[in-house]
Amino acid sequence: MASINVAIVGTGFQAQYHAAAYAKLPEVELVACCDLVEDARNAFGRRFGCTPYASLTEMLQQRRDLDAISVVTPGALHYSNVMEILASPTPPKAILCEKPPALSIAEIEQMGSTAAAAGVTLAFAFFLAQDPSLRWLCANSDELLGPVYRASIIWRRSGGIPARPSLLAASAVGGAVLDLLGHLVTPLLMLLEAAKPAWVVANLYHAIGAQGGTEGKLDPALIQVEDAGDGRFLVLHAAGACLANFVIEWDAYIPHDMLSIEFEGDKGGATLELDHASSSLVPQLYRVVKVDGMALRLVTTLTQPAVTLDGLHDVEIAQLVRAVTTGQGVPHLVNAELAANVMRIVLGAYESDKLGDTRLL
Ligand SMILES: NC(=O)c1ccc[n+]([C@@H]2O[C@H](COP(=O)([O-])OP(=O)(O)OC[C@H]3O[C@@H](n4cnc5c(N)ncnc54)[C@H](O)[C@@H]3O)[C@@H](O)[C@H]2O)c1
């Protein structure tokens, strides 16, 4: 099989997951990387056996053999990086851009339309979209859930507390809610087939505590961004309306991350809860029955093939490579339309918080 040449833009923390996932695919060779920081790119090049370049421009000029590129720079650069790649004389067949997709809806739409015109698969890295139980639920939701009218998605993180400059500085990424809320919104919008949201009302908390997290001290003097938030969001879909509640928060005092996804439909409900032993989402279906005036939940735990949360990054990369080998976009990946609607909610949360009121989208 012909080798698929891939490259990575930005060689920081998250890039190592992309490189490790590519390394698991025998048909793939990671041939190039670039980073503005010399030590970072050289160390990455040595570790993963690829040629380091000093900038994206230099890499694109010198490598005309790239089939896929991962963009793993800070969020404020995603738009310009992706547009530069798409404008190169020999663009790759597929691009995986880390979240947040960009800092405005107009940018995401332009990235999507430019990629479509160039025949390039452009995917955005929202790894929960790859969960097999969630995908199965989405495929069968008409039959299992009927029209979904309520959703609740809560992620309490014990670690990964924002500490690196790229997460703290609004100019670099835009804050913790921009960094993570999109992960929670994606499963619901997948279920609602990329429905456009109608309004958002959100509270963002500006301080989360005084103890350290896993990625540095939780110093309130440093944590001046939107550290955590909760909000209500009305998402319209074909069959009516779905009211969704999302909570994203950091909590230094819980022993494990807690992630809980719940959908309630006319026919029944479903939950996906993070199990710590397997580090994967466990799906359950339920129906509400009335017995002697009491509402009881009849619960069925499903045995879907589980993938750990970390393993979902590997699935995402494997899907991207599949897009290259088949020459077709892969529906499993988050495309620009879905990404734009996800970000309407995320960006709407900031606007609602600033307004202190509901934000119509
Ligand atoms: N999907 C996930 O679960 C997940 C997890 C962590 C981070 N991320 C995302 O990955 C991206 C990178 O985050 P990170 O934690 O690796 O940050 P990081 O700061 O560790 O790494 C970013 C790297 O990009 C380099 N860089 C900056 N400007 C550049 C440019 N113009 N050209 C080339 N390289 C440049 C920096 O020098 C740095 O090495 C962010 O968008 C973040 O949101 C995603």
Q: What are phi and psi of 218, to 5 degrees?
A: -90, 80
Q: Is the CB of 34 under 6 A from ligand 1?
A: yes
Amino acid making up residue 144: L
Same structural domain for residues 160 and 278?
A: yes
pTM metric for this prediction: 0.91
Tell me, yes or no, whether 243 lies in a domain: yes
Question: Closest by alpha carbon to 250, among 176, 350, 343?
Answer: 176
pLDDT value at residue 225: 41
Please identify, among 88, 104, 125, the residue that sits at the C-terminal boundary of a domain.
125
pLDDT at 329: 74
- What is the CA(14)–ligand 1 centre distance, in A? 6
Pocket test for ligand 1, best of 38, 55, 81, 98 (most atoms within 8 A of CB): 98
- 320 domain residue, yes or no: no
Count of C-beta atoms within a 10 Å radius of residue 116: 14
For residue 147, the model assigns a pLDDT of 92
- Taking the CA of residue 41 as reference, the ligand 1 atom at the shortest distance is 39
Q: Check if 12 has its Cβ closer than 6 Å to any atom of ligand 1.
A: yes
**Contact 75 CB / ligand 1 (< 6 Å):** yes
- Whether the Cβ atoms of residue 204 and residue 356 lie closer than 8 Å to each other: no
Q: What is the CATH number of the domain that holds 204?
A: 3.30.360.10
**What pLDDT score was predicted for residue 305?**
77
Look up tokens 């993570």; give the residue: 180
pLDDT in tens, the chain (361 residues): 569 999 999 999 999 999 999 999 999 999 999 999 999 999 999 999 999 999 999 999 999 999 999 999 988 899 999 999 999 999 999 999 999 999 899 999 999 999 999 999 999 999 999 999 999 999 999 999 999 999 999 988 776 555 544 444 444 445 667 778 899 999 999 999 888 899 999 887 655 443 444 444 445 454 444 455 666 777 776 567 999 999 887 666 677 889 999 999 999 999 999 999 999 999 999 998 888 999 888 998 887 778 999 999 999 999 999 999 998 877 789 999 999 999 999 888 888 888 888 999 8
Structural domains counted in the chain: 2
Looking at residue 229, what is its pLDDT? 60
- Are 19 and 44 contacting, i.e. CB atoms less than 8 angstroms apart? yes
Q: Which of 75, 103, 125 is the last residue of a domain?
A: 125
Angle between helix axes 105-118 and 336-355 (nearest 10 degrees) is: 170
Residue 200 lies in a domain: yes
Ligand 1 centroid – CA 167 distance (Å): 9
175 and 267 in a single domain? The answer is yes
Structural domain contains residue 277: yes
**Which of 125, 144, 160 is the last residue in one of the domains?**
125
Could you write out the DSSP letters of every residue in 234-261? EEEETTEEEEEEEEEEE-TTSSS-EEEE
Mutate to test the pocket of ligand 1, among 17, 35, 171 (most ligand atoms within 8 A of CB): 35
Range of the structural domain that residue 292 is part of: 129-308+341-360
In a domain, 321, yes or no: no
What pLDDT, on the 0 to 100 scale, is given for residue 208? 47
Distance, CA of 329 to chain centre? 18
Domain presence at residue 335? no
Same-domain check for residues 133 and 117 = no
What is d(CA 287, CA 161) in angstroms, rounded to the nearest whole number? 37
CA-based radius of gyration for the chain = 21
For residue 96, what are the β-bridge partners? Answer: 70, 123
In this structure, are 191 and 148 located in the same domain? yes
For ligand 1, whether the C-beta of 126 sits within 6 Å is no
**Ligand 1 centroid from CA 13, angstroms:** 7
pLDDT of residue 165: 42
| Single-letter amino acid code for the residue at 211 | Q
Instruction: Answer yes or no: are the C-beta atoms of 29 and 66 closer than 8 Å.
Output: no
